[in-house]
Structure 1
Amino acid sequence: MTEIIRAQLPRGPNGEKDPNDFARSGNVHILNDAIAEQAKAAGPAPPRFHLLTPDELASRPAAQYRIKRVLPAEGIAVIYGPPKSGKTFIVLDAAAAITEGREWFGYRTRPCPIVYVGLEGEGGLSQRWQAYRLVKGDAGKDRLKFVTAQLSLLLADDITDLANAIKAARADAGIVVIDTLNAASPGADENSSVDMGRIIAAAKRLQATLGGLVLLVHHAGKELSRGLRGHSSLSGAVDAILEVSRDNNDNREWAVTRAKDGPESEPRPFRLDVVEIGTDEDGDPITSCIVEPVEHKSGEVARHRKPPGGNQKIALEAIGEALKASSEYGKSGAPDFRPCVRYDAAVDAAADRLPVEKKRTRERARLAVQGLVSAGHLSYQDDWVWLP
């Protein structure tokens, strides 16, 4: 590796001022001697890599949070869900709670500035904030800013301009919400590893420039059990993933489905309450919604909760299909009407679907099946598996 030395050029005996002067006068040796003397006085350059002892590593501070066990203070996170699931309402509610420093769904928060880049409908975002402020107040409004101008993560100038605007407002080192990833990457193919790589690199550049957390709002894929829409590199590049879901009975919930420095969470149910915020020019009411947590009834969580992990969801779907195709019923204590499959067949079915490296599919599939059994999503006895 080439070593760079910064040296003060000496004045030569014949008035030489730069290397070209020394070369023309034949006094290059004077220049070389001066540089060598300064390099000796400067001493060796510090090592580029510092090797930590186990004690030094253990003494490093723990990862900080914005919402404890939900959102880290630094890095990249994604919140996603299908259309009409309520993900934007959840994001806005969480953002407001953080700016106020109040608990959110029972989790502690640490206040910080938040910049919400809303790219899918300025009018709708305005109405959502009006509804929130009307019902829950705006105690943290000084920490909350909105951007509604169009933005492309694929344009370096857009990232630079956004970062400069955030720094000028002294809102860096907080959270930047990009709603949505699709709207912020016009023309990109989300299924392409190249385009998704560019999107990820842009989000990381924004985070490195500002510090804090970049939170991407994204859509679910057509098959909800497969998680995030688009190339799988996105899920591997982020520090936390939150899923928002809604069933056919209008039951909504969110859950942490991936956290690099913490556990996944149980689903947290919520509802959207309609709020009237005014009337339009025809005298008709203008409405929006706010998020309200919903308490589970006793015993309901154990019976109806979804598998928290992305791999578990995929595994349960695959095993469910294997059970439908099975001709074995009522094995090892299962009800007579319950189809059953062997444990290894359940692992094989899950392994065929999991989006992980081929050499790790059986290991991950086995962990997913074990997790499903432990959580009560599958019954297992004497090498047979069935749905409870």
Structure 2
Amino acid sequence: MVTKDTVNCIKQTYGTLQLSEGSAGFDIQQAWLIKQYIPSKAFGVIYGASGSYKSFAVLDMCCCLAANKTWNTQKVEGCAVVFIAAEGAVGIKRRIRAWEIAHKTNVNNLFVLDKSLSPSEPEERIKLVNAIFELEKQHSIKIGLIVFDTLSRCFIGDENTARDMGHFILGCETLIKTTTATVLCIHHSGKDQSKGCRGSSKLFADADFVFQLQRPAGTSLSVSLVNHKQKDDEPAKTLGMIFEKVTLGIYCDEGQPVSSLVRIDQALTDSPDNIPENTIVKVLSTIFDGSCNRSELRNAFFPKTTGNISARERTQFSRILKKALESGQITIKQISTKASDSDQISLVH
């Protein structure tokens, strides 16, 4: 089977240019870091409003790649990762440690830079490339992903102008060509979240893949990951991810335990068969302290910032609820003969 890595085999050199003829290469398959979600050797963006767990979600992907561990049942191409923690490394390190504790796995191939670095500046870009080559040589590894957290902290100029955004994107594309790694930027939503990520529309236009993290009000530990663009493949399924607190075994100066958030092992998709039986227990215990009404629980499973859930999602939720009730995991106190949003749902202790 032809892959992207063998694309040059179908090209011929004419003068100083390489050209392919006709449909040669139509059967080239997309290569992935995370199957159906993060492509290899690509430029992408994951964005969301402040507090939408952007770094937590991206670090979850990074840790799975570095540890060569399946991400949400999706196959990964294990690789080392460089994470540009332009907003501070202490919090990032604690999130990585929480992931290690939750998964009982050490993350050894995730390297964190604790300062901003702009890919649009040649001198800074060269420093990063040289560091990557040195890492690969010393540790006998391959850096497959470079993360900028956040784009704005690593950006020089006005992100609202196509010219400055173009310089940034060109710098990222140069990194991809030089290192053969995917570049992923964590970014913010605009004032109107329905209009996409902040800044020039050139960012969305030039990206190979774009995801949005949506966190609704009232569901403090749940978000949905929505794929708005997947240039060379079908859009990935929307995932509803639920996070839980993990204590790190250290204490603050006031003697209180320090904790961080970790995604529950499997995210929720639009297929009832993909949802583990104990998920409803985790949602009730983690987010709602054991009890909530039907509406609150449904919104935790299908988090949305605007609009209503679909008929298919309502059916899926009913199946999940019925399964948990029949297995004796929950009780439902209905306020009338018909199911109501105000019905109280509680864990059986």
Q: Same fold (TM over 0.5)?
A: yes
Matched, 1:183 2:147: no
Aligned-residue sequence identity (percent) comes to 24
Helix, strand or coil for the counterpart of 1:57? coil
Higher alpha-carbon Rg: 1
Question: 1:131-174 CA distances to partner (integer Å, 9 max, x unpaired)?
Answer: 111111334x3322111133223422111101100110015551
Equivalent residue letter for 2:46: I
* Corresponding residue to 1:174 among 144, 149, 154: 144
Which residue is equivalent to 1:9?
none
Residues 296 and 173 from structure 1, CA distance in 2 versus in 1: closer, same or farther, beyond 3 angstroms?
closer
What is the alpha-carbon distance in structure 2 between the residues aligned to residue 288 and residue 147 of structure 1?
20
What is the alpha-carbon distance in structure 2 between the residues aligned to residue 253 and residue 70 of structure 1?
14
* Corresponding residue to 2:252 among 260, 267, 280: 280
Helix, strand or coil for the counterpart of 2:108? helix
Following superposition of structure 1 onto structure 2, how do residues 211-290 of structure 1 map, counting pairs within 5 Å?
211-250=180-219, 251-277=222-248, 278-290=250-262
Q: Which has the higher helix share?
A: 1
Matched, 1:147 2:116: no
Residues 119 and 97 from structure 1, CA distance in 2 versus in 1: closer, same or farther, beyond 3 angstroms?
same
Question: 1:252-281 CA distances to partner (integer Å, 9 max, x unpaired)?
Answer: 111221001111133211122111112123
What is the alpha-carbon distance in structure 1 between the residues aligned to residue 118 and residue 17 of structure 2?
36
What is the alpha-carbon distance in structure 2 between the residues aligned to residue 164 and residue 74 of structure 1?
18
What is the alpha-carbon distance in structure 2 between the residues aligned to residue 252 and residue 95 of structure 1?
18
Checking the alignment, whether the CA contact within 8 Å between 2:223 and 2:303 is kept in structure 1 is no
What is the alpha-carbon distance in structure 2 between the residues aligned to residue 228 and residue 118 of structure 1?
20
Question: 1:5-26 CA distances to partner (integer Å, 9 max, x unpaired)?
Answer: xxxxxxxxxxxxxxxxxxxxxx
Matched, 1:58 2:29: no
Equivalent residue letter for 1:260: K
Checking the alignment, whether the CA contact within 8 Å between 2:120 and 2:170 is kept in structure 1 is no
Checking the alignment, whether the CA contact within 8 Å between 1:267 and 1:306 is kept in structure 2 is no
Residues 196 and 128 from structure 1, CA distance in 2 versus in 1: closer, same or farther, beyond 3 angstroms?
same
Following superposition of structure 1 onto structure 2, how do residues 1-388 of structure 1 map, counting pairs within 5 Å?
47-54=15-22, 56-58=24-26, 61-139=28-106, 141-170=107-136, 173-186=143-156, 188-250=157-219, 251-277=222-248, 278-292=250-264, 293-295=266-268
Checking the alignment, whether the CA contact within 8 Å between 1:172 and 1:211 is kept in structure 2 is no
Report the Cα offset of residue 106 of structure 1. Answer: 2.1
**What TM-score does the superposition give when structure 2 sets the normalisation length?**
0.69
C-alpha RMSD of the superposition:
3.1
- Contiguous gaps of at least 5 residues in structure 1: 1-44, 308-312, 321-372, 377-388
Report the Cα offset of residue 72 of structure 1. Answer: 0.5
What is the alpha-carbon distance in structure 2 between the residues aligned to residue 154 and residue 52 of structure 1?
31
Helix, strand or coil for the counterpart of 1:234? helix
Checking the alignment, whether the CA contact within 8 Å between 2:63 and 2:96 is kept in structure 1 is no
What is the alpha-carbon distance in structure 2 between the residues aligned to residue 375 and residue 275 of structure 1?
33
Report the Cα offset of residue 202 of structure 1. Answer: 1.4
Question: 1:284-306 CA distances to partner (integer Å, 9 max, x unpaired)?
Answer: 111111112444696979x9686
Once the two structures are overlaid, the 10-residue window that deviates more, 193-202 or 233-242, is 193-202
Helix, strand or coil for the counterpart of 1:88? helix
Once the two structures are overlaid, the 10-residue window that deviates more, 160-169 or 261-270, is 261-270
Equivalent residue letter for 2:81: I
Equivalent residue letter for 1:115: V
What is the alpha-carbon distance in structure 2 between the residues aligned to residue 49 and residue 210 of structure 1?
22
What is the alpha-carbon distance in structure 2 between the residues aligned to residue 70 and residue 245 of structure 1?
17
Equivalent residue letter for 1:145: F
What is the alpha-carbon distance in structure 2 between the residues aligned to residue 243 and residue 254 of structure 1?
6
Q: Which has the higher strand share?
A: 2
Checking the alignment, whether the CA contact within 8 Å between 2:87 and 2:115 is kept in structure 1 is no
What is the alpha-carbon distance in structure 2 between the residues aligned to residue 183 and residue 133 of structure 1?
27
Question: 1:96-125 CA distances to partner (integer Å, 9 max, x unpaired)?
Answer: 111222221221111111111111122211
What is the alpha-carbon distance in structure 2 between the residues aligned to residue 265 and residue 241 of structure 1?
10
Counting matched residue pairs gives: 268
What is the alpha-carbon distance in structure 1 between the residues aligned to residue 31 and residue 22 of structure 2?
21
**What TM-score does the superposition give when structure 1 sets the normalisation length?**
0.63
Equivalent residue letter for 1:57: G
Report the Cα offset of residue 226 of structure 1. Answer: 0.6
Residues 116 and 150 from structure 1, CA distance in 2 versus in 1: closer, same or farther, beyond 3 angstroms?
same
Helix, strand or coil for the counterpart of 1:56? coil
Residues 285 and 173 from structure 1, CA distance in 2 versus in 1: closer, same or farther, beyond 3 angstroms?
closer
Equivalent residue letter for 1:254: L
Higher RCO, 1 vs 2 (CA within 8 Å, ≥6 residues apart): 2
Equivalent residue letter for 1:104: W
Checking the alignment, whether the CA contact within 8 Å between 1:172 and 1:210 is kept in structure 2 is no
Once the two structures are overlaid, the 10-residue window that deviates more, 141-150 or 65-74, is 141-150
